[in-house]
């Protein structure tokens, strides 16, 4: 699922470059699986269909649906799926613009709007009265969830819930055995209060790829090395140390106003048969591709230029949300 950028979003001033990135991502997703695209209105839908056709995207793989949006970070406003044996449930958590930083009323309503249009088939949808963004959690498929204290315990999200209460709700909703918390790690230019998906990602239940800073002069060095120490202290579901894969550290990227941007290779997207990773026109791009090819040896690893995306604080994983087979009939 992608929520497509439009002129009413913060992308307006750079819409051509951002759409080029979305088109590239849509093209590669549709090589492997179906794609649901959320369009702002009918005119936007017509425009998207035309540019997809011009890009030679496999239109038979595409489903277009209508729902107005404030922004386009589908990972955070889209439904989060729980798959129990053969039963699929889509969970619709509250989205409040990363702790009321930005307008979010339209984004919060997208999942329910799609459901009522039957864009999500006849899959069960459950609203959940708790603020949670998909980019703030990382699961291994074997009952373990990894997250950060800075995000989930931010007072602007669920101020009446303690860490223990939040953990119990996550265990209940996702059928978990345990929750692992990180207390360190951040990137300048990130508005999410340290979403886990820019810091550390499960590649399988024994392997974590993580953002690693080897530049001692960089302001991130101390925090990211403290995070690395935390990761080394964790144990997998088999009670073994995780296989940790450090991802390279690209040169600092800045916007036109001189603000540093959150360039992270950890924000990769896994699709059927492929892993799509962000590139930053940096020598480290190829190193990141090699690292992640080793983590996913049975998948094609594809690099997409994501410099336009990080100007608004996110990257490829933030753009998209996976839906299990059977939802897009």
Question: What's the domain range around 210?
Answer: 2-319
Q: Does 327 map to a domain?
A: no
Q: Domain with 174 in it: what CATH number?
A: 3.75.10.10
In this prediction the pTM is: 0.96
pLDDT at res. 31: 97
Task: For residues 246 and 254, give the distance between their C-alpha atoms in angstroms, rounded to a whole number.
Answer: 23
2 neighbors 35 (Cβ within 8 angstroms):
yes
Task: For residues 115 and 134, give the distance between their C-alpha atoms in angstroms, rounded to a whole number.
Answer: 18
pLDDT at res. 164: 98
Q: Does 62 map to a domain?
A: yes
What is the Cα 71 distance to its own chain's centre?
Answer: 14
Q: Does 326 map to a domain?
A: no
pLDDT at res. 326: 87
pLDDT at res. 315: 97
Number of structural domains (the chain) is 1
273-287 burial: b if 16+ Cβ within 10 Å, else e: ebbbbbbbebebbee
Across the chain, which has 329 residues, the per-10-residue mean pLDDT values are: 96 95 98 98 98 97 98 98 91 98 97 96 95 98 96 98 98 96 98 98 98 97 98 96 98 96 98 98 98 98 97 96 90
Q: Does 328 map to a domain?
A: no
Q: Does 156 map to a domain?
A: yes
Q: Cβ neighbours of residue 160 under 8 Å, at least 6 residues apart?
A: none
Q: Does 85 map to a domain?
A: yes
Q: Cβ neighbours of residue 258 under 8 Å, at least 6 residues apart?
A: none
Q: Does 325 map to a domain?
A: no
Q: Does 195 map to a domain?
A: yes
């Amino acid at each position: 699922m992608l929520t497509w950028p439009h002129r009413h979003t913060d992308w307006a001033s750079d819409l051509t470059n951002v759409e080029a990135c979305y088109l590239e991502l849509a093209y590669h997703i549709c090589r492997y699986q179906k794609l649901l695209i959320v369009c702002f209105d009918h005119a936007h839908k017509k425009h998207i269909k035309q540019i997809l056709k011009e890009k030679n995207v496999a239109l038979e793989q595409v489903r277009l649906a209508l729902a107005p949006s404030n922004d386009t970070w589908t990972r955070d406003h889209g439904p989060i799926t729980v798959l129990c044996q053969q039963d699929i449930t889509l969970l619709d958590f509250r989205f409040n613009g990363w702790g009321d930083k930005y307008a979010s009323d339209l984004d919060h309503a997208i999942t329910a709007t799609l459901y009522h249009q039957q864009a999500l088939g006849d899959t069960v949808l459950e609203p959940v009265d708790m603020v949670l963004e998909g980019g703030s959690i990382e699961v291994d498929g074997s009952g373990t969830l990894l997250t950060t204290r800075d995000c989930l315990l931010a007072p602007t999200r669920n101020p009446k819930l303690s860490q223990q209460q939040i953990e119990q709700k996550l265990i209940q909703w996702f059928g978990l055995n345990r929750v692992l918390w990180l207390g360190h790690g951040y990137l300048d230019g990130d508005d999410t209060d340290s979403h886990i998906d820019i810091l550390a990602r499960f590649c399988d239940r024994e392997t974590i790829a993580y953002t690693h800073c080897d530049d001692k002069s960089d302001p991130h060095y101390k925090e990211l090395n403290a995070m690395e120490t935390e990761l080394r202290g964790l144990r997998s579901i088999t009670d073994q140390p995780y296989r940790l894969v450090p991802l390279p550290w690209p040169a600092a990227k800045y916007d036109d106003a001189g603000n540093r941007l959150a360039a992270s290779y950890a924000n990769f997207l896994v699709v059927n048969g492929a892993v799509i990773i962000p590139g930053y026109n940096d020598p480290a791009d190829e190193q990141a591709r090699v690292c992640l090819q080793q983590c996913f040896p049975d998948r094609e690893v594809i690099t997409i230029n994501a410099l336009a995306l990080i100007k608004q604080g996110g990257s490829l994983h933030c753009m998209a949300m996976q839906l299990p087979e059977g939802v897009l009939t």
